Amino acid sequence: MTVSAVETAPMAFNPARGIRARLSGLISILIAVTLALTPFSAVLVLGWIMRIMRREIVIALCRQGAQRVKRKNAIAHIASVPAVAGMSRFPGWWRGLGETFRAGAKATVAVAIAVLPFGALQLLSWWAGWENSFNKGYEQAWVGPTIALIGIFIAVFVLMHLPMALAHFAAEGRIGAIWEITHIRRLIARTRWRYLFLSLFTVSLSAPLYIGQIMPTFIEGVFPHLAAASPEQLKAFAFRWHAGFTIYLVLVLLVLRRWAARLYARAAVADGSSRVIAMLARDMNVKVPEPARRPGRVAGTLSTLVTAAAWFAFVAALYVTQFANHAWWNWLNHPIIGLPWVFRPY
Amino acid sequence: MKIGRRAFNQGLTGAIAAGIVGGASRAARAYTGPNVVIVRFGGGVRRAETIIGKASYAPYMLHVLAKRGTMLPDLTIAQLDGVDTSHAEGTLNILTGRYSGYQKVGSQGLAPLLEPTAPTLFEYLRKAFDIPSHQALLVNGEDRPQEEYLTYGGHTHYGVSYRSEVIGLFRYKIHKFQRILEEATAPEDVLADVAKQLDELRTQDYRGTAGRAGAIVQRFWDRWREEYGDTGLKNPRGDRLLTELAVRALRELKPRLMMINYQDPDYVHWGNASHYTRAIGIIDQGLKRLVDAADLDPHYRDRTVFAVVPDCGRDANALMSVPFQHHFNTRSSHEIFGLFFGPGIARNKVLDKPVDQTSIAATIGAIMGFKASSAEGPVLSEILT
């Protein structure tokens, strides 16, 4: 059956099934929130999000086809194609746990390869720079700031590509996919303004997480009773605080990663160079449009500069946050783009 | 030498009779009381790492010096509206004995420039007794030029005539650049660069007192320059520099009242916890050097009272990776400690009651024989023998 046939076929509406699906989705999200409370189980959440991204890419590809269809019809079509039928359902936790773990482990390695080099430089420059400043090492005072600047430059470069790189990784399922910079840059160029908005939203939605890290610094001013709280009361407060921001993180990631996946599908269709996309289109009997004309240079440069500025703001906010409430781990992981785990000291 | 309550009362009565309290006229009495060294155990140090428990990052202070005097384990900064737990503020609480004894007159970067509005201990002392400015000394660190300006207040009857002299690298740099320009032996481009740097330093000196050191202090800096040169790389650094300056000042300037503003524990603001604990240890070792220097010098031996007190505490925030990273007006940042030792101070005693930071100025005034009339806190008569 072609997609257009699905579009014209009558869709049977089953309210009970719809409620069950929503309930199941809600339970999956709650489980994800619970697993995102520790760094080890957060690997599973990352895998779960990658599966969701892959599903979203397939749905978007189906909808991006020449015969543009509604989302529910695209899902119905996917369910009818044996090669991708498993992706018609929202990824849960009961089935495919092994696949989730494999996807999570691979994604963790891929993200670590992308993020750790600049994270390590930033951590090292912060530690060594202030260590040197404490010792008044005027002779080598340039070392810390220089390493920091190199780290910031690499961070901005990597982060501005990472949302698309993660989508590419989700589609391809290969760790190496995250380093296919030329291909990723080409995909970004195909969706430049949409990708810019995704970047701006990603950076903006990271603000509450930064605030969640800064706020404990002033917590006694906000909740004066904590000055006299017992360790148990503090632990309970810390748990509620952590859980609240973890809920926010998981919900935001669901929005941002699916958005990135849809952009990826759009870009891949417009670019016409992705082997996996071509294979999926063939499997699903989706007729994709001809590759679009490449965008102009001026607009491309402008959108690149604004995207870079947005991610520079992200990095600058990290420095401000670390000054307010320092934690070594937070140089190495950025929950909104890396392992979905908010650092909790207590 | 002992300065008991009776002696203090007699001294104070004499001072009132001489008309020196209230600032009627400048007294010319020679000072015969004890020398006082105030050690600001800063910037921002908690009880937890210093005086609580047997194991301490400041073992010399806790196990050796405490036996020579009276410990104040429950010294606090009052929780009042407008009272901030920070360095210049805490230093002025100690120096003026008032919580609101200052006004903000500007800022240098993020640091506020605070100017005392009440007389400082230096002003009280120099007005009451004939003591030259270089014997009322403030020893400052190189990272806080804003603390250069705590030397005198804007009180009608006190002020610049009774200010303290400041010893610190900021002052040394001004002296060094002035000397290089006077010598005029360096190449022209070097001289031009020096003149430029001197102008920049002077722009930070909004009160214009930094380049007006007396001849004795200028000789002090000349000797320093002979030993350490012009590079700034050969002298001790950080809080060890403050100890070196203070020990030299004891030897060469013979101050009667000296305050040393240690500051490096405050590096923990950047998140390296070991900076805090290591800096406490460095101050503890600095205390040992200072006390040893005083014990070996006849001018100071048995004639010197030490007062050790932090400018403020630090947070005890369990929700942070480094619970003591800041001092943002939390309960813990109001909780500090104090230690007095020397002649006239009760030995091996713990004053186990709440004491206010504003009592430090009043008590030092009592020890030195003047009344810190603007101080809010009472004299700690229990620590005097």
Tens of pLDDT, residue by residue over A302-316, are 999 999 999 999 999
Phi/psi of residue B355, each to 5°? -130, 145
Q: How far is CA A263 from CA A181, A260, A298, A301, B107, in A?
A: 17, 5, 21, 19, 49
% residues pLDDT > 90 (chain B)? 74
* ipTM for the whole complex: 0.88
Of B269, B319, B326, the CB nearest to A346: B319
Amino acid at site B114: L
Structure confidence at residue B147 as a pLDDT band (50, 70, 90): confident
Query: What is the arithmetic mean of pLDDT over A107-113?
Result: 96
What's chain A's average pLDDT?
91
Phi/psi of residue B139, each to 5°? -105, 115
Chain A within 8 Å of B237 (Cβ-Cβ)?
Answer: yes
Chain A within 8 Å of B229 (Cβ-Cβ)?
Answer: no
Phi/psi of residue B339, each to 5°? -145, 125
Contact list, A327 vs chain B (CB under 8 Å): 271, 321
Chain B within 8 Å of A222 (Cβ-Cβ)?
Answer: no
Structure confidence at residue B322 as a pLDDT band (50, 70, 90): very high
CB atoms within 10 A of CB A18: 11
pLDDT at residue B14 in the model = 44
- Pairs of residues, one from chain A and one from chain B, whose beta carbons lie less than 8 Å apart: 81
Tens of pLDDT, residue by residue over B87-139, are 989 999 999 999 988 888 888 777 788 888 899 999 999 999 999 999 999 99
Better-predicted residue by pLDDT, A85 or B145: A85
Q: Cβ separation of A130 and B232 shorter than 8 Å? A: no
Range with the poorest average pLDDT among A84-93, B153-162, B271-280: B153-162
Burial profile A236-264: b = 16 or more Cβ within 10 angstroms, e = fewer: ebbeebbbebbebbbebbbebbbbbbbbb
Query: What is the arithmetic mean of pLDDT over A176-182?
Result: 94
d(CA B4, CA A109): 72
Chain B within 8 Å of A138 (Cβ-Cβ)?
Answer: yes
Better-predicted residue by pLDDT, A82 or B377: B377
Better-predicted residue by pLDDT, B210 or A211: A211
Q: Cβ separation of B325 and A131 shorter than 8 Å? A: no
pLDDT at residue A287 in the model = 79
Chain B within 8 Å of A345 (Cβ-Cβ)?
Answer: yes
Over 90: is that where the pLDDT of A284 sits? no
pLDDT at residue B38 in the model = 98
Query: What is the arithmetic mean of pLDDT over B322-328?
Result: 95
Over 50: is that where the pLDDT of B49 sits? yes
Give which of B317, B322, B324, B325 to mutate to test A binding, by max A Cβ within 10 Å.
Answer: B317
Structure confidence at residue A67 as a pLDDT band (50, 70, 90): low
**Left if phi > 0, otherwise alpha if psi is -120 to 50, otherwise beta: which for B114?**
beta
Over 70: is that where the pLDDT of B211 sits? no
pLDDT at residue B23 in the model = 41
Amino acid at site B309: V
d(CA A320, CA A323): 5
Chain A within 8 Å of B318 (Cβ-Cβ)?
Answer: yes
The alpha carbon of B85 is separated from its chain's Cα centroid by a whole number of angstroms, namely 16
Tens of pLDDT, residue by residue over A196-205, are 999 999 999 9
pLDDT at residue B17 in the model = 42
Helix (H, G, I), strand (E, B) or coil at A115: helix
Nearest alpha-carbon partner for B70 in B296, B376, B358, B343: B343
d(CA A318, CA A340): 16
Q: Residue B345 gets which letter from DSSP?
A: B
Chain A within 8 Å of B272 (Cβ-Cβ)?
Answer: yes
pLDDT at residue B13 in the model = 45
Query: What is the arithmetic mean of pLDDT over B240-261?
Result: 97
d(CA B338, CA B119): 22
Tens of pLDDT, residue by residue over A120-133, are 999 999 999 999 99
pLDDT at residue B6 in the model = 46
The residues facing B116 across adjacent strands are B102
B276 to chain A: nearest residue by CA? A134
DSSP letters along A184-241, please? HHHHHHHTHHHHHHHHHHHHHHTHHHHHHHHGGGGHHHH-GGGGG--HHHHHHHHHHH
